[in-house]
Amino acid sequence: MKDHQTGKSLIIGIASLLVFLTIWELVCRKGLIEPLFLPAPSKVLSRAVKMIDNGQLIAHTLASTRRVMVGFMVSSLVAIPFGIFLGSFGFFRAVFDPFISLLRPLPSMSWIPLSLLWLGITETQKYAIVFMGSFAPSLLYIIEATKNIDPLLIRAARNLGASRVDVMREVILPGSLPQIIAGLKVMLGIAWTCIISAELVAARQGLGFMIMNGKEYFQTDTVLLGMVMISITVLIIDVIFRRFERRLLPWTQ
């Protein structure tokens, strides 16, 4: 029954998208919208075919995806153990809370000047932007997930002789993991915002660079193609993330 409903929803979604694209195409073909401001879907598709043929589209997409995933994975690998530690120990949480509160409101764009000064226009600079833009919010998600663990479970484990490390590994981590993963999925979208911001300002390759380059040469179809590729890439990563989540958390299904 659930699979039937999912298939039905998918068909409805595809149909509504096709209707929208058809209306958009007809409006553009009738000349109701200036192509410079909004090209027809067929023009965007034609640009995609050209950029696939010369290899540019794949290169830009892979460059941005690599930067996002490297920065995001490093951020997660640091934030998860650190967040669980801070969520488990109130004293250390109080010590680090002022620093986290100072870092959390800073948007990724604010780190670009310093990162360029420190690292130059390099791949490391792009990874650093993703890391700095996503680390503090990820840390807060993980701390809150850890704090929401039922205290009765922790006391029961301690009464059974579990050490603090055992409690963190066997009780807090499994209990907070669903909420941690939900938070990380949100942060993955923020990581894409970080890298596109960095590529718009200082990059020689990537979807952000492609969008900015299209804007400079008044190629609106290139700009729209870059936006579409961001959405498609995020959707693909989200599907992979969901499969990984099902394998990691089978008890939540």
Same domain? For 25 and 56 the reply is: no
| Ranges 4-13, 38-47, 48-57, 135-144: which has the least confidence | 4-13
Q: What is the pLDDT of residue 2?
A: 55
CATH number of the domain to which 122 belongs: 1.10.3720.10
Quote the number of domains for the chain.
2
Same domain? For 132 and 207 the reply is: yes
Same domain? For 70 and 157 the reply is: yes
Same domain? For 97 and 19 the reply is: no
What mean pLDDT, rounded, does the chain reach?
87
**DSSP secondary-structure letter at 104?**
T
Structural domain boundaries, residue 12: 1-33
| pLDDT tens-place string over residues 66-82 | 999 999 999 999 999 89
| pLDDT tens-place string over residues 156-179 | 888 888 777 778 778 888 888 888
CA–CA separation, 184 and 68 (whole Å): 13
Q: Give percent of the chain above pLDDT 90.
A: 34
CA–CA separation, 174 and 168 (whole Å): 9
Rg (CA), the chain: 22
Torsion angles phi and psi, residue 106, rounded to 5: -75, 120
Same domain? For 198 and 108 the reply is: yes
Choose among 113, 116, 133, 114: nearest CA to 71: 133
CA–CA separation, 69 and 21 (whole Å): 31
Q: What is the pLDDT of residue 108?
A: 79
CA–CA separation, 247 and 253 (whole Å): 10
Of 222 and 155, which is predicted with more confidence? 222
Same domain? For 128 and 50 the reply is: yes
Tokens representing 26 are 């007809």
Residue with tokens 């997660």: 76
Same domain? For 6 and 103 the reply is: no
SS3 state at 92: helix
